[in-house]
């Protein structure tokens, strides 16, 4: 995603980030809000078949920030 945080980084550093991450997740749920940066996804069009100049022949693939996937 746009955050450039790799999932393996989280796995390798879980001991350091588990408490602040838990706090942020709980805060998000209690307030019913999600920070705008977690709502942004990179969209990559993947060609299916047919005329490559027709936008309908592509499907969007969304890459979300790592923390969005955790939530």
- DSSP E strand stretches across the chain: 42-47, 58-63
Dump pLDDT digits (tens) for 29-46.
Answer: 899 988 888 888 889 999
pTM score, two decimals? Answer: 0.56
Q: Give the number of other CB atoms < 10 A from CB of residue 58.
A: 14
Dump pLDDT digits (tens) for 9-31.
Answer: 888 998 998 999 899 889 988 99
* Distant-in-sequence contacts of 55-64, Cβ < 8 A, 24+ apart: 63/1, 64/1, 64/38
């Amino acid at each position: 995603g746009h955050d450039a945080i790799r999932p393996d980084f989280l796995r390798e550093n879980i001991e350091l980030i588990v408490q602040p991450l838990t706090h942020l997740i709980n805060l998000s749920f209690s307030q019913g809000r999600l920070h705008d940066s977690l709502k942004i996804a990179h969209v990559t069009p993947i060609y299916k078949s047919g005329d490559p100049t027709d936008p309908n022949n592509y499907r969007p693939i969304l890459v979300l920030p790592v923390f969005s996937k955790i939530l």
